[in-house]
Structures are given as structure tokens and as C-alpha cells.
Amino acid sequence: GQQLNQSPQSMFIQEGEDVSMNCTSSSIFNTWLWYKQDPGEGPVLLIALYKAGELTSNGRLTAQFGITRKDSFLNISASIPSDVGIYFCAGVSGTYKYIFGTGTRLKVLA
């Protein structure tokens, strides 16, 4: 079946550093979404991308929809301790079928 691979799997960074993570697939998606999940809670939508090549920002977060429609990238600038959590990408295929990535676990060192 369809699979989304995220890298890195986990990362430790210093507070104030910029963070980059990506999501790749062998399948084409028409929409990409990025979510953050804190322990014991549901995923929270960060950014939605609808067009190939689209670059969208939400505060310190910037995400891009890859030109091939098979990948997406998320950048976090000037990380802070509350950025800690698991970041998931999700691709939408078919009619409202969402495939989630494997997740990137972010840990921020103060």
C-alpha cells in the first residue's frame, strides 16, 4: 500500500536552531498536511498544502509541496522548547483518504 517515509526519525537540537524534516513517497498526492502531536494528545494541524511547488508559512513554520507531488518539507525556524513533539506529514489520496507518515520526533535542548 501507499507509504510515507519521514526523515529524520528523530533529532535533538539546541534551542534557537532551525529544523528541517521531510516526507517522501513513491505515490503522488494532491494535498499534503503537516501535524504535530504531543504525548497523549491528538495530532494538531500545522499547515495544509494544495498545489505542487506551493510554499506556505505559519509563524515560525514553513512547508513546501514538492514539484513531483511525491514529497513535502517542513522547516521550523528558531526552535523553542515547546516545539518538542512528533511531527507527522499526511498525504491525501483518492476521496478523503489520508495516509500518515512515520513521524519525526523532535527534542529541543534548552
Partner 1 sequence: EPEVTQTPSHQVTQMGQEVILRCVPISNHLYFYWYRQILGQKVEFLVSFYNNEISEKSEIFDDQFSVERPDGSNFTLKIRSTKLEDSAMYFCASGGVFSYEQYFGPGTRLTVT
| Contacts with partner 1, residue ranges (CB under 8 A) | 1, 31, 33, 35, 37, 40-45, 48, 50, 88, 90, 92, 94-103
- CB count within 10 Å of CB 11 equals 16
Q: Which lies closer to partner 1 via its Cβ, residue 41 or residue 110?
A: 41
Give least dist CB 31 to partner 1, A. 4
Q: Which lies closer to partner 1 via its Cβ, residue 32 or residue 73?
A: 32
Q: Which lies closer to partner 1 via its Cβ, residue 1 or residue 14?
A: 1
Region for 102 from its dihedrals, namely left if φ exceeds 0, alpha if ψ lies in -120 to 50, beta otherwise: alpha
Can you read off the three cell numbers belonging to residue 3? Answer: 507509504
Can you read off the three cell numbers belonging to residue 12? Answer: 535533538
